[in-house]
A = this chain, B = another copy of it.
Amino acid sequence: MTVQLLGISNAIVDVLAHVDEDFLKTIGAAPGSMTLIEKDRAREIYNQMGPATEMSGGSVANTVAGFANLGGTAAYIGKVKADQLGTIFNHDMRSLGVDIRLKAAPGGAPTARSHVLITEDGQRTMQTYLGACLELGLADITPGTVGAPKAILIEGYVFDIAEGPQLAQRAAEIARGNGTAVALSLSDSFCVERHREVFLEFVRNDANIVVADEDEINALVGAADFDATLEALQDFDQLFAMTRSEKGSVILRGDEKVEQTATPVETVVDTTGAGDAYCAGFLYGWVNEKPLQKCAEYGTHCATKVIQQLGARIEPGLLDDFESL
Residues in A lying within 8 Å of B, measured CB to CB: 18, 46-47, 49-56, 65, 83-85, 88, 91-92, 94-96, 110, 310-311, 313, 315-316
Contact = CB atoms under 8 A, between A and B. Distances in A.
Q: How many copies of this chain does the complex contain?
A: 2
B51 A54 contact: no
Contact of A52 (B18, B47, B91): B91
Contacts of A54: 53-55, 88
B311 A49 contact: no
A50 B84 contact: no
A50 B95 contact: yes
A95 B313 contact: no
Nearest to A48: B95
A95 B51 contact: yes
A311 B110 CA distance: 26
A84 B52 CA distance: 13
Nearest to A53: B55
Q: Rank and list the top 5 A-B pairs by shortest CB-CB distance, nearest first.
A: A54-B54, A84-B84, A51-B92, A53-B55, A50-B95
Contacts of A56: 51
Contacts of A85: 84
Contact of A95 (B49, B84, B315): B49
A58 to B, nearest CB: 13
B83 A50 contact: no
A29 to B, nearest CB: 17
A51 B83 contact: no
**Quick one: which of A18, A51, A83, A310 has the most chain B CB within 10 A?**
A51
Contacts of A51: 55-56, 65, 91-92, 95-96, 313
A127 to B, nearest CB: 15
Contacts of A47: 91, 94-95
A46 B84 contact: no
Contacts of A96: 50-51
A95 B17 CA distance: 11
**Quick one: which of A53, A83, A110 has the most chain B CB within 10 A?**
A53
A252 to B, nearest CB: 33
A91 B51 CA distance: 7
